[in-house]
Amino acid sequence: MSNKVNSKKLNIVRYPHSENKSLRAWNSADEYILKHINENEIKVKDVIIFNDRFGFLSSSLIDYSPKIIIDNKSQEKSIKSNITLNKLELSKCEFLTPLDNPNSPIELSIIKIPKSMDLFRLYLNQVSELLESESVIICGFMTKYFTSQMLDIAKEYFEEVEQSLAWKKSRILILSKPKQIKHSSIINEIRLNDNKNIQQYFGVFSAKNIDYATQYLIENINIKETDNIILDLASGNGVLAYAINERKANCEIHLVDDSILAVESSKLNLNGENIHFHYTDNLKEFDENYFDFIISNPPSHFEYETNIEISIELFRETKRILKTDGHFQLVASKHLNLKTHLVKIFSDVRISAENKKFIIYECCK
């Protein structure tokens, strides 16, 4: 098989869709990785791909039967739909989560470096024991997002870490000569209060402390006596669901998150027959008028992009699944000015608390 990787004719579409036409489904860092493979005639065999958000790298390398690490349900949908859209063979790929063992030797790893350095470390940790002495990792990133931590983390795992020249505002790191290292812990512990530490896998939202907006929402949770069926929307490590379960044991609590690492983290923090975990990027599986109370610190970022389109779509679905007399409480940074969007969806939107940075809204159908 020729080792030329050709992505020129691909049509890659973003999912979730964005109205912002300037947002693209790949960037020059992805192209630089493929250019480097072609120009240096790197053997593409036993290849594994990390953090391919929409499917550009996976589609470009599909002839080499890549293993593809999937962090998010929306990412999985995007990659699969783009492979199908381009009439490529989906059956050639193998999809794994960041917590799976790829279970076979890896010769070439391709990493689009994520914003979370913990997640970058988790990726290196995942492949580190499967690398041969000749294995190479090619990591791409946009120059403006460079941090010296990328090099520090790479050097923990590899003897040689070479940084390329810039090309179209992007760079690559080439990691070779893997070090013999033992797996390290991939779980962070965060102090919630005197009695409880929250655990979460590397790469999950707010790794060092309970997020300040979340903390503010916990202090102002408005749970009512009549609230028995509850949803923690965009649940991350499950800290909001945990706080609710503490206040009102035995109500039916559901947690929804797009990230498999988030859902698996929340399983470390909550258990019980009343707790239900959902790895999904939408609320379609829930019946209309089902929840008494929905609580959320909703997503406002998509990697480096500020993006509230995803949340607005989730708010529309929230209205459908909320009982007629139910209520939806959410926290957001003031500058996002979510009220202008919420009033278009909900008939009643009130401010239940605010401080200098954050605002808590309470919405009814």
Ligand X SMILES: C[S@@+](CC[C@H](N)C(=O)[O-])C[C@H]1O[C@@H](n2cnc3c(N)ncnc32)[C@H](O)[C@@H]1O
Nearest residue to ligand X on Cβ basis: 236
Q: Is 47 in the site for ligand X (CB under 6 A)?
A: no
Among 59, 235, 269, 329, binds ligand X (CB under 6 A): 235
Q: Is 310 in the site for ligand X (CB under 6 A)?
A: yes
- Shorter beta-carbon distance to ligand X: residue 60 or 235: 235
CB of 123 to ligand X, least distance (A): 17
How far is 252 from 278, CA to CA, in rounded Å?
A: 13
Distance (Å, whole) CA 14 – CA 16: 6
Query: Which residue in the set 30, 76, 211, 292 belongs to the binding site for ligand X (CB under 6 A)?
Result: 211
Site for ligand X in 191-210 (CB under 6 A): 205-206
Number of residues that bind ligand X (CB under 6 A): 21
Q: Taking the complex as a whole, how short is the minimal distance between the CB of residue 263 and ligand X, in angstroms? A: 9
Residues in region 73-92 near ligand X by CB under 6 A: 74
- Asked if 256 interacts with ligand X (CB under 6 A), we say yes
Q: What mask of x and - would describe binding to ligand X in positions 3 to 42, judged by CB under 6 A? A: ----------------------------------------
What angle do helix axes 148-157 and 117-128 make, rounded to 10 degrees? 20
Single residue of 55, 114, 140, 236 touching ligand X by CB under 6 A: 236
Query: Using the rule CB under 6 A, is 118 a contact of ligand X?
Result: no
Residue 36 identity: H
User: What does 115-149 look like in DSSP terms, one character per residue?
Assistant: S-HHHHHHHHHHHHTTEEEEEEEEEEEEGGG--HH
Match 């749970």 to its residue by tokens: 223
- According to DSSP, residue 288 is labeled T
The contact pattern for ligand X, residues 314-343, with x = CB under 6 A and - = no contact, is x-----------------------------
Mapped onto helix, strand or coil, the DSSP state of residue 175 is: strand
CA distance 263 to 204: 9
Question: Smaller CB distance to ligand X: residue 16 or 102?
Answer: 16
Stretch that binds ligand X, among 87-95, 189-197, 258-266, 321-329 (CB under 6 A): 258-266
> Strand order of the sheet with strand 170-178?
94-96, 67-69, 47-50, 106-112, 131-142, 170-178, 158-163
Closest CA to 263 of 243, 278, 241: 278
Please, are residues 111 and 139 in contact by the beta-carbon 8 Å criterion? yes
Angle at the Cα of 195 (from 357 to 217), degrees rounded to 5?
Answer: 20
Binding of ligand X by 291 (CB under 6 A): no
- Regarding 292 and contact with ligand X (CB under 6 A), the answer is no
Q: Which residues bind ligand X (CB under 6 A)?
A: 74, 205-206, 211, 214, 234-237, 239-240, 256-259, 262, 281, 297, 299, 310, 314
